[in-house]
Amino acid sequence: MLYHEKLFYHQIHPLKLSVDIGCTLLALFFVWEHEWLKGIITAFIPSMLISMYVIKYADLEPLKQSRLGKYTYGYMTKQIEYVRTAGLVIAGGGAWMNDVSILGLGLIVILATWLAGFFMSTKNSTERRKK
């Protein structure tokens, strides 16, 4: 598997997803408590470490061939990844302001990006990846 493929498919590895989800929720708690440094460290350090581990050691070929891999390849474009990141920023802002509605909106944006493929046409999904 090529390195750029590993960079793409590692994001759906179960260990990576578990660390990202768990650490994001914990980081949002820290931000809610206005402990922004703990929040930033919790959000990014474990995620970066597990990314390096999964990219280096995990066999990602089965994920690439899986239904989730094919789904993700068809719909998780750079633009969708940017929107997903924006959702995290919105959630973080809501946590900082102790505003559950803004926090929830950010989490909904993140969830919607992961589910975007169910709402998009399957036509031209390969062309979307090239953008």
Are residues 60 and 6 in contact, defined by beta-carbon separation less than 8 angstroms?
yes
- Backbone φ and ψ for 33, nearest 5 degrees, come out as -85, 5
Q: pLDDT digits over 85-119, tens only?
A: 999 999 999 999 999 999 999 999 999 998 988 77
Q: What is the pLDDT of residue 1?
A: 87
* CA-to-CA dists, residue 103 to 1, 49, 58, 99, angstroms: 37, 26, 33, 6
Q: pLDDT digits over 44-73, tens only?
A: 999 999 999 999 999 999 999 999 999 999
Taking the domains of the chain in order of start, what are their residue ranges? 3-130
